[in-house]
Structure 1
Amino acid sequence: MSTQTYLIDTNVIIYLEDNRTVEPAFSALTNLAAKHKVDIFVHEAARDDIGRDSNLERRRISLSKLSKFQKLSKVRGITPTDLEAAFGRLARPNDVVDATLLHALLIGAADFLVTQDRGLHDRARRHSAEIGRRVLYVADAVQLLRTTFEPVEAPVRFVEEVQAHSIPLADTIFDSLREDYDGFDSWWRDKCVKHRRPCWIVEDDGIAGLLVRKDETSADTDATQKLNKILKICTFKVRPEKRGVKIGELLLKKAFWFAQRNKYDLIYITTYEGQTSLIDLLEYFGFKHTHTKPDTERIYEKRFSSSSSGSSEVASAFEWHRLNYPRFILTPDTTAFGIPIKESYHDVLYPDLRQQPQLDLFDRQGRGNGPRRPGNTIRKVYLCRAPSNLGRPGSLLFFYKGKSQSPPSQAMSALGILEDVKLAYSTRDLLQMTGGRSVYSEQDLENWQASSSSPVKVINYTLAAYIEPIIDLKQLKSMQIIGGHPPQSIYQISSEKLGILLERIDLGFTP
């Protein structure tokens, strides 16, 4: 397998060295890269950008921070006009640098670009979904390196609901919150502990992720949209050393699904401009910046409705779904497919559904009153060699788990929305195409033996819902979704059968 190469945005280095909460991730990035002989580069154009700084002392310091990295040379003859044609309007010299970095990805000079710049992430996604997936935040790059080179079977963690008073203030999850917000301890005691606010937590050697929620109404809310039933995310925190394993995405999925099931009209959160990765995640899933308070705190809101309707303002049904997640829309030309999946892959993609020993289903303090679902991400990737092209972005994907040792077995269990399908002709292609959301180790990817004569299909999609209760083989046959024998390859589901399937699933909204 070809060695991975990572291109580092200069803003990453300067930002990370000035922000102590993400230093562990940056240290892990450089340590893992050195350990596994992964090359890290700084682009020559970025050095030129720093060279324009009129402050000589600051310029000297900034350049000294770059000297320990290898330099990636500029492409000879490439002009700003060429870059603008590929990556959109370049109004400032820094925009030209950003486009130059993306161009390095486009031509294969680097596998991934690491940056904390939300604008650069957004520009990459506007160019193409594939380039967007190869632009990573620092924590995501660390997790990709660990997944690729240090595969371990991570224990399945549960999202657990607790009350605020049950979390001790000494827990390390509060350390950075206490540093960032004056009077945090008093606020926690007066607003959260006293009112026993409900929280979702993810535990991993202590609390790795925390989301505190609060019910509000139009008469008592900071949201700009004064709707009837409002869910406020009061605190949303992932411990710095636990970033990169998608805990934030997991907690956000929990909030989305909770809001949908309980028919909230609006969900909102407040944050500050410096929380770039959080803001990027919020905006990706449809939150809009609606107001900035005098202290620069920003309000981000996402509206829910009881039904879904299309919009001409988005490029595809998938884009509508992304912005309105977990909702999706049906159009007259919506296509649907059944995807058979083996137990081993099902367990990797949907650990939420994997049956655990009894001791894992109930915590030892006895707080649990039933099975709690472990975490996984919203954005997923599935590999196969099935001949189907799966239709256009926005197609519905129904995953059918084949005969298995543990339940569910021979049943339709999950519903996804197609983002795109690509063909990988080499292991390096697989690395690049799955990198932003990979659950595959280096050996996993090599075992596919992708080649020009035997490419691997890379299916990117989002998990829209679990099918509850599952639809087993007997029911699928009675509904004529499946014929005499369980399917062995991807197959299309007719519009008529799609309607029958969707009527059987309680989505919490009408598509």
Structure 2
Amino acid sequence: MRILIDTNIIIHREANRVINEDIGLLFNWLDKLKFDKCIHPLSIEEISGYQDENVVKTMKIKIDNYNQLKTESVDDQLIRQIRQTDNSRNDFIDTSIVKEVYNNRVDYLITEDRGIHRKANLLGCSEKVFKIDTFLEKCIAENPELKNYQVLAVKKEYFGNININDVFFDSFKQDYDEFENWFNKKADNISYVCITDGNVKAFLYLKQEDKNEIYNDIEPSFPQKRRLKIGTFKVTSTGYKLGERFLKVIFDNALQYNVEEIYVTIFDKRDEQLRLIYLLEDWGFRHWGTKTTDNGVEQVFVREFKPTPNLQQPKLSFPAVSKNTRKWIVPIYPAYHTELFPDSILNNESPQDFSENKPYRNAIKKVYISRSINRNLNGGDLVLFYRTKFNGPAHHTSVISTIGVVENVVTNIRDENHFIELCRKRSVFDNEELKKHWNWNKYNRPFIVNFLYIESFPMPKVNLKKLRDLNILQDAPRGFEPISDVKFEQILIEARANESYIID
């Protein structure tokens, strides 16, 4: 397996001081799996022009640790078209790097560069281009016996019960002189934390603010609104989609407190901060301005919480969805139900069996594989998931458990390998199971529905008996079945759904 590694990752890996601890975990996996670590010849040119002379000297010594690509593939028409938009030498090099995975000279490319990821989308090879965290997810999903963590659970915890001396908090201490004092004063406040083997992997503190909050240090000034402030937020790369899991916590709190906006103030000095900014931007946060403090100037990012639903890119307005779309109901077997929707756990299932030790459990973005006759779903369509019978008659144990919103549908799948690559980042299935799905019927290949997980309905959930009594459904759905607006409304009422995320 040949893995092409982008320039900045190599620079940070070989620097004399640790800049990005996540890169150490990445290279640990690359070594474990005996992957061939490759470097593009133009990356060496970039490194030679790096401002830090110590890094350049170190890299010239350590460059033999990588397999330098001996040749470059030829530019085809699509590559030449992309080069027309390159405005600098760096842009040109980025195109040359992504070209090698596009032309199958290497198996995968790992890069944190958003521009390269955009080019991969244009070239139709985005499933082979990974960020550090998503590549770790791939490694864990395909090699579960080699994963470092058995359980990664997010829980509420008082500040006072968390070890402030954990190295996780060192970056906060560097950025904020008053951090330790502030942290100790919050001893009786609730935070969200993920602790594994005694080490903190992620931390989140949220603060509800009313319309009377004063924002003298933010420019431009905030208008009066009910807001949720992301007070402290950090996630280390583990390959378990903790960033998405914590985003779900943020959005759930915003729903609970019925706020108008969510905002965060954050420095943009380190890679970990930039990655967090990119994650927030991917989910609809936009740069507002700056906050000036004694510690320096922070960037301010704001997200309208209930914007007009974006049907083409639902995650930009998540969890806000539109009523003016089609509605579907689809079955899901018990064996996969709580694997995909841990928050939908039912009374007859054991919580101990569903700790968040697999990437897809933490994700908001998920995959549903189907051979349904109906394949014409669109972005923004709403889907109700019907868990089929479990240890009892369908009448009582089949239930409507969860609602999601469609991102997109993929029907143009080239072959088995392409199918596995498209599913790998979000699916409950391992590679062998995915192969079985693909080959089950060669005359009816599966398609993929990418969707966002919005809400698990409270217990008790609406079962088949109730659906029959209300004349909503008589039998379990087979594939994606459309339902009327009237029946959809009935289900939401019976399910006691939090309809505040549904925008007229």
Q: TM-score, normalised by structure 1?
A: 0.81
Asked if structure 1 preserves the Cα contact closer than 8 Å seen for 2:343 and 2:456, the reply is no
1:421 deviates by 2.2
In structure 2, the partner of 1:459 is 449
In structure 2, the partner of 1:249 is 244
Percent of aligned positions that are identical = 25
Asked if structure 1 preserves the Cα contact closer than 8 Å seen for 2:401 and 2:457, the reply is yes
In structure 1, the partner of 2:369 is 383
For residues 472 and 15 of structure 1, do their structure 2 counterparts lie closer, same or farther at Cα, with a shift above 3 Å needed?
Answer: same
Does residue 264 of the first structure (1) align with residue 259 of the second (2)? yes
For residues 131 and 328 of structure 1, do their structure 2 counterparts lie closer, same or farther at Cα, with a shift above 3 Å needed?
Answer: farther
1:248 deviates by 2.0
How does 1:336-485 map onto structure 2 within 5 Å?
336-355=327-346, 357=350, 376-405=362-391, 409-423=397-411, 424-450=413-439, 453=443, 455-469=445-459, 470-483=461-474, 485=475
Asked if structure 2 preserves the Cα contact closer than 8 Å seen for 1:140 and 1:243, the reply is no
For residues 233 and 501 of structure 1, do their structure 2 counterparts lie closer, same or farther at Cα, with a shift above 3 Å needed?
Answer: same
* Rounded Cα–Cα distance in structure 2 between residues aligned with 1:44 and 1:480: 66
Name the SS for the 2:500 alignment partner.
Answer: coil
The C-alpha deviation readout for 1:20-61, integer Å capped at 9, x for no partner, is 3633x3333333333334343323443344456699876554
Asked if structure 1 preserves the Cα contact closer than 8 Å seen for 2:366 and 2:453, the reply is yes
How does 1:268-287 map onto structure 2 within 5 Å?
268-273=263-268, 274=270, 275-287=273-285
Asked if structure 1 preserves the Cα contact closer than 8 Å seen for 2:321 and 2:501, the reply is no
* Rounded Cα–Cα distance in structure 1 between residues aligned with 2:484 and 2:108: 39
The C-alpha deviation readout for 1:403-432, integer Å capped at 9, x for no partner, is 124999411111111122224454421332
In structure 1, the partner of 2:116 is 120
Does residue 329 of the first structure (1) align with residue 327 of the second (2)? no
Asked if structure 1 preserves the Cα contact closer than 8 Å seen for 2:101 and 2:108, the reply is yes
One-letter code aligned to 1:403:
K
One-letter code aligned to 1:236:
F
Name the SS for the 2:378 alignment partner.
Answer: coil
How does 1:163-174 map onto structure 2 within 5 Å?
163-174=158-169
The C-alpha deviation readout for 1:39-96, integer Å capped at 9, x for no partner, is 43323443344456699876554455443223346654417x8436348831111112
2:287 to 280, 286, 289: 289
Name the SS for the 1:446 alignment partner.
Answer: helix
In structure 2, the partner of 1:313 is none
Asked if structure 1 preserves the Cα contact closer than 8 Å seen for 2:265 and 2:291, the reply is no
One-letter code aligned to 2:179:
F
1:449 deviates by 4.6
1:448 deviates by 3.1
* Rounded Cα–Cα distance in structure 2 between residues aligned with 1:50 and 1:61: 10
1:122 deviates by 4.9
The C-alpha deviation readout for 1:113-168, integer Å capped at 9, x for no partner, is 2112244345545x38x755543221331231121123589766543323322324
For residues 5 and 402 of structure 1, do their structure 2 counterparts lie closer, same or farther at Cα, with a shift above 3 Å needed?
Answer: farther
For residues 77 and 143 of structure 1, do their structure 2 counterparts lie closer, same or farther at Cα, with a shift above 3 Å needed?
Answer: closer
For residues 247 and 58 of structure 1, do their structure 2 counterparts lie closer, same or farther at Cα, with a shift above 3 Å needed?
Answer: closer
* Rounded Cα–Cα distance in structure 2 between residues aligned with 1:276 and 1:427: 35
In structure 2, the partner of 1:20 is 18
1:93 to 67, 89, 94: 89
Does residue 227 of the first structure (1) align with residue 227 of the second (2)? no
One-letter code aligned to 2:479:
S
Name the SS for the 1:297 alignment partner.
Answer: strand
Q: TM-score, normalised by structure 2?
A: 0.82
Does residue 70 of the first structure (1) align with residue 64 of the second (2)? no
* Rounded Cα–Cα distance in structure 2 between residues aligned with 1:87 and 1:507: 47
1:379 deviates by 1.0
* Rounded Cα–Cα distance in structure 1 between residues aligned with 2:145 and 2:462: 33
The C-alpha deviation readout for 1:268-314, integer Å capped at 9, x for no partner, is 11222232221111001111111134524211111224xx535xxxx
Asked if structure 1 preserves the Cα contact closer than 8 Å seen for 2:386 and 2:401, the reply is yes
For residues 325 and 110 of structure 1, do their structure 2 counterparts lie closer, same or farther at Cα, with a shift above 3 Å needed?
Answer: farther
* Rounded Cα–Cα distance in structure 2 between residues aligned with 1:34 and 1:454: 39
In structure 1, the partner of 2:209 is 216
Asked if structure 1 preserves the Cα contact closer than 8 Å seen for 2:164 and 2:180, the reply is yes
One-letter code aligned to 1:433:
L
The C-alpha deviation readout for 1:333-361, integer Å capped at 9, x for no partner, is x2222221111211221122235647899
149-158 or 295-304, which deviates more: 149-158
* Rounded Cα–Cα distance in structure 1 between residues aligned with 2:151 and 2:50: 48
* Rounded Cα–Cα distance in structure 2 between residues aligned with 1:78 and 1:234: 47
1:204 to 177, 186, 196: 196
For residues 477 and 124 of structure 1, do their structure 2 counterparts lie closer, same or farther at Cα, with a shift above 3 Å needed?
Answer: farther
1:376 deviates by 1.9
In structure 2, the partner of 1:144 is 138
* Rounded Cα–Cα distance in structure 2 between residues aligned with 1:59 and 1:16: 13
Asked if structure 2 preserves the Cα contact closer than 8 Å seen for 1:104 and 1:110, the reply is yes
For residues 296 and 249 of structure 1, do their structure 2 counterparts lie closer, same or farther at Cα, with a shift above 3 Å needed?
Answer: same
For residues 415 and 510 of structure 1, do their structure 2 counterparts lie closer, same or farther at Cα, with a shift above 3 Å needed?
Answer: closer
* Rounded Cα–Cα distance in structure 1 between residues aligned with 2:52 and 2:283: 39
